[in-house]
Structure 1
């Protein structure tokens, strides 16, 4: 589509440029001229995690203008909605409305200022004061209106899971609850991160979600783009079990989710083949132990040794992730070999960091020779040791609640040796 001589199209690309600028800010502000293939891969991964939609490298290059075409790339609505969601809006329409209203406010201020410049000098100072006061008032009015539009939240509405505890597979039912009467036709949004698609929910509607992976799912209720409540769902296991798949959204049981030896947690290529996994394509293997406990997720010690493949066909950077799942939130560290340290990251409750934004090469290890991982958390202060060397210290704010599970994930085949988690105050072992 050509963008010449068309005011509507010009306005669209102006908004697209704004959206691209916001994406670059979110990715750390690296100039596009310095972007390499790995940057596009990272962006695709982050968009996929946030929106459940993965855009190809070529699509991202066209969007960012680094892949030249005869006419400027005009993305379809579904792609535009993904971009808007990635930078914090519900969809492209909300982004467009927000941008238009703030732009109108800026233009109104500029017009008022221009009037002042064309007035006679005799009345210049007085007129300038009046116009500036009116401009500030107009800006504040628009700003407050937008804030109210985006954050006006009926805080009394709660998200309830009717059956939060199950095994695999599990169908969890969600509904809304409020102490006071509210508009039962009011639309809310239910977000389950990468575990399921987003859904609308209202007081007159129940939503059922299907889960086929062991673990803990954190559901968040949104209203007008603001998170107002959360609920958790627990898919329990009987000891350590294995599941796998060719991507994280379609994992399935290995050896029927039978209990594995906790001293040597491993599944062989033959067992993966028996489960129907295509090992010629990139795949993941996950080991999970999910059960209720009274262990404090903000005061515990975890120890484990992990081994993984250095690489495999189609995957140059093989990752190892360790997740401590709480009743309210989780702790996560992602480990890679040194040459792939850009993909290391961590999340301790409300604090997270990406290797693309900060040097996390201390989290790198030799996967073939193994890494001994220790995670100590004391009063919301996390310490990570890798092969007896402290590599990370993180202070976070929000409690993750009681420990409800441990997951160890590998891109490819991996092995976990004797994972142990102990409450530092009571001595209870998970």
Structure 2
């Protein structure tokens, strides 16, 4: 990695810290659109959301790619520096002032003034003084006298104080026992028409009046859109064109206030194509999807669906229903291959997505040499190939391979052609299975799928010639 690449990595980390939107790996399309607008407003230089996704690693690109100087200038100006050269000079290491303060210092210097930053006084770390002893009454001659005797008036005052103390203690005790009035929730989200076949319009009623000082938005998973909620309204709708199991969340200051789920069902297996960054989805022909006992669509059919096949693209086969199996206790097996030859740099990704009511299990295989782009998920646990050695998921997928997942006791055991590869433990439950998806970078094939519950009883199977429901 060259010096410019290291500086760029530091710059992107500073941007994450400034935005406070969480880890950029979790950003969605709407976030990159918003960031593009913020950078343009700050620098008067336009950077497309697609370019930002590439810089932050959301889209595969060759290693150590250096963006043009104008792009780097825009990023530096967004952080409060004059240009990229200024960031390289002052922003490479831990800065003594925030970028915003440095920007103010530049303005002050231009006006002939120098900004002086006075360090805060250190906290007092000395130990507290010992409490002095109670004074001793002495008689003349230095002889200590016995404690004073309480007179009748003093006894009355003491009794009154003790009585008041007893009353207060009793009130406090019974207050703890007495049931409290219910506390109004900070936000609520209710929905209707949350399950059905697409096209499906789900209707959400929300109440965020208790958070009048916050900006509350609603996030629609799958469509990767985040919309600010108008405070003078109480209802918002979302249209679902494609099958899937989608979470809907009320968000404020990075916290989830309330959530619901939409179950857009499929009629068997349905094919979907997408650009590499999932910015647009396309319907694939349903009838010709099963060919010669395989689930498959050709590049010509993908092109006919208006997908640019000169660029990287995804083909996904989804089956969305209630599978009557727990996502925390099941066995899934599929025989797949991906022999796409779109370009020498294609990684021939094969992804198994099993979505539950609460979380998902996602297992990602690529051809050897591409494990840097591997992404695994089980429950709340997510691993990527950038910061983990996931090289065992780099496999030859150009011929038929059998992938098997055994999930039990909050752990996923992954097998490749009968050989154990990896164990992925998790804590938070996946929940009942709601969707199965076999996804390919390019045009892959599925020979069969089998799903068994925790008792090893088959709950679903399809050989794509004589389906068993």
- The TM-score normalised by the length of structure 1 is 0.67
Residue by residue over 1:181-220, the C-alpha shift from the partner in whole angstroms, topping out at 9 and shown as x without a partner, is 8467964221234523101236733222222222111222
User: How far 1:158 sits from its partner (Å)?
Assistant: 3.0
Selected match of 2:126 from 126, 129, 136: 129
Bigger Rg, which one? 2
Selected match of 2:363 from 333, 336, 359: 333
Selected match of 2:306 from 264, 271, 276: 276
SS of the counterpart of 1:56?
Answer: helix
| Contact 1:363–1:386 under 8 Å retained in 2 | no
**Match in the other structure for 2:237:** 208
Structure 1 residues 58 and 384 mapped into 2: Cα distance closer, same or farther (>3 Å)? closer
CA distance in 1, matches of 2:379, 2:32: 21
Residue by residue over 1:211-268, the C-alpha shift from the partner in whole angstroms, topping out at 9 and shown as x without a partner, is 2222111222212221233221111111112121334232222125787479521112
CA distance in 2, matches of 1:253, 1:79: 41
CA distance in 1, matches of 2:330, 2:339: 29
CA-based RMSD:
4.2
| Contact 2:15–2:79 under 8 Å retained in 1 | no
CA distance in 2, matches of 1:71, 1:285: 32
SS of the counterpart of 2:294?
Answer: coil
| Contact 1:281–1:313 under 8 Å retained in 2 | no
Structure 1 residues 109 and 386 mapped into 2: Cα distance closer, same or farther (>3 Å)? farther
User: How far 1:429 sits from its partner (Å)?
Assistant: 0.7
**Match in the other structure for 1:309:** 339
CA distance in 2, matches of 1:236, 1:212: 11
Written as runs of structure 1 = structure 2, the 5 A alignment for 1:191-202 is: 191-201=219-229
Selected match of 1:243 from 243, 260, 272: 272
| Contact 1:295–1:428 under 8 Å retained in 2 | no
Q: Which runs of 5+ in 1 are unaligned?
A: 1-14, 29-42, 81-97, 102-106, 117-126, 132-152
Structure 1 residues 78 and 202 mapped into 2: Cα distance closer, same or farther (>3 Å)? farther
Q: Which runs of 5+ in 2 are unaligned?
A: 1-9, 34-48, 57-63, 81-97, 102-115, 129-182, 461-469
Residue by residue over 1:327-385, the C-alpha shift from the partner in whole angstroms, topping out at 9 and shown as x without a partner, is 22211111101111111120001001000111101112211113211011112111111
**Match in the other structure for 2:104:** none
**Match in the other structure for 1:360:** 390
| Contact 1:196–1:209 under 8 Å retained in 2 | no
Structure 1 residues 79 and 162 mapped into 2: Cα distance closer, same or farther (>3 Å)? farther
User: How far 1:170 sits from its partner (Å)?
Assistant: 2.4
**Match in the other structure for 1:410:** 440
CA distance in 2, matches of 1:314, 1:79: 38
- The TM-score normalised by the length of structure 2 is 0.62
Segment of structure 1 superposing worse, 307-316 or 346-355: 307-316
SS of the counterpart of 2:310?
Answer: coil
